[in-house]
Amino acid sequence: MNLNVTSEDKAEATVVSNLFIDEYMKDANDAQIKIYLYLLRMMSAGLPTDVSKIADLFNHTEREVVRSLEYWQKRGLLSLEYNHSGQLTGIRFRQIDSVSTAEAPAYRPAPQAALKVVPDDESVLRFNENISYTRDQLKAFKENGETSQIVFVAEQYLKRTLTTSDIQALYFIYDELKFTCEMTDYLLQYCLDRGKDNFSYIKKVAINWAQSGITTPKQAKELAGAHYEKYVYTALKALGKSNIPQQPEADMVTKWYKEYGFDLDIILEACKRTVIATDSHRLEYCDKILLAWKKAGVHHVKDIAAVDAAFKGNRAKETASRASGTFGQFDRHDYDFAELEKILSN
């Protein structure tokens, strides 16, 4: 029997595209749908929001929120805007087009396989989040020599007596996720440092770490500092840096990509030249190359050859005017990489 859906509510409404419902919603998970609809509501009302506020509203981690935003960007429904430091500053809704049969599978979440870890962030290790422990189990957990310490530490951090629900969450983290006491201690510190003291949030962070294969505090710290765009890792790897990016390094690469406006292929060409030219101060050296190309109007890799030719033709003249050997002097003449190497070495 068909159901007629009507409403007596005359309040202002948020309009959702039929194409979104017909073609996009079916492939998204609950978090992605909730966040998209919430953003529509904020846009309709002209209200600002932020990742932290969205995470609090839906009881997600901030990483889950960012994942959802990136999902909709991949689907072409949102455009995420960043400042030169790589911080998210704006979200722009894009016109919804019909999904082609060729592109839809690329963003459809893969089937979930129990207790199987695969690289795709959306195909993750699954846990029984609804597991419930008996009163006797919770009592034993609180009184056991090792696990009683977890309860004690949690109460000290939170400055309150844990509720039964809190202890259920702690037991789940210990029993189902296999967190050690050391790992649980760091988890509590991590969440409290971010102003999150409810166990619903703490449990979500713990599940997120477990799904990411995080088993030690050191790995958790590295994960916390690893949320940079892919081009950051690619450029730094091309410069010979294989460690987790430091913030100043990520800021520098982000500047090349967003402020200078270079595509990755141009950035990688500058990285290649840098590696050939010097073993030290590579970020600064590469920055000077890219700044010179920006001033010369380089937009494509093929433009670089013309800049190289012009530089070689004027090199004798420029050498005479760079006698002071300072960065400021270099900025006026750009593009003498041998001179830059000398400056950086000093």
- What does the pLDDT read at residue 161? 93
Band of pLDDT at residue 84, cut at 50, 70 and 90 = low
pLDDT at residue 250 is higher than 60: yes
**Taking Cα atoms as reference points, which of 50, 216, 269 lies closest to residue 224?**
216
Structure-token pair, residue 338: 């041998």
Asked whether the domain spanning 135-224 has the same topology as the one spanning 18-107, the reply is yes
pLDDT tens per residue, range 161-202: 999 999 999 999 999 999 999 999 999 998 888 788 899 889
Q: Region 221-225: what's the mean pLDDT?
A: 67
**Taking Cα atoms as reference points, which of 177, 227, 181, 237 lies closest to residue 205?**
177
pLDDT at residue 226 is higher than 70: no
Q: Region 20-49: what's the mean pLDDT?
A: 86
**Whole-number Å distance between alpha carbons of 344 and 346:** 5
pLDDT tens per residue, range 269-306: 999 999 998 888 889 999 999 999 998 889 898 889 88
**Taking Cα atoms as reference points, which of 323, 277, 269 lies closest to residue 298?**
269
Band of pLDDT at residue 100, cut at 50, 70 and 90 = very low
Structure-token pair, residue 194: 């971010």
Strand partners, 79: 92
Backbone angles phi, psi at 80, to 5 degrees: -90, 130
Q: Region 108-137: what's the mean pLDDT?
A: 53
- What does the pLDDT read at residue 196? 85
Helix (H, G, I), strand (E, B) or coil at 99: coil
**Taking Cα atoms as reference points, which of 286, 173, 205 lies closest to residue 239?**
286
Question: Quick one: how far is CA 83 from the chain centroid?
Answer: 14
Q: Which amino acid is at 192?
A: L
Q: Where are the domains of the chain?
A: 18-107, 135-224, 230-345
Query: In sequence order, which residues have a C-beta less than 8 Å from that of residue 314 and are 6 or more positions away?
Result: none
CATH dotted code for 135-224:
1.10.10
The better pLDDT of the pair 146, 36 is held by 36
Instruction: For the beta carbon of residue 132, count every other beta carbon within 10 angstroms.
Output: 10
Asked if 233 contacts 214 with a C-beta cutoff of 8 angstroms, the reply is: no
Strand partners, 81: 90
**Whole-number Å distance between alpha carbons of 228 and 213:** 19
Query: In sequence order, which residues have a C-beta less than 8 Å from that of residue 162 and are 6 or more positions away?
Result: 151, 154, 155, 170
Could you tell me the sign of the dihedral formed by the alpha carbons of 302, 304, 305, 307, in that order? positive
Given the structure tokens 């001179």, which residue do they identify? 339
**Whole-number Å distance between alpha carbons of 247 and 240:** 17
Burial of 316 (0-12, 13-18, 19+ CB in 10 A): exposed
Asked if 55 contacts 65 with a C-beta cutoff of 8 angstroms, the reply is: yes
Strand partners, 82: 88
Structure-token pair, residue 302: 């093929």
Whether domain 18-107 has CATH 3.60.15.10: no
**Whole-number Å distance between alpha carbons of 37 and 223:** 29
pLDDT at residue 7 is higher than 90: no
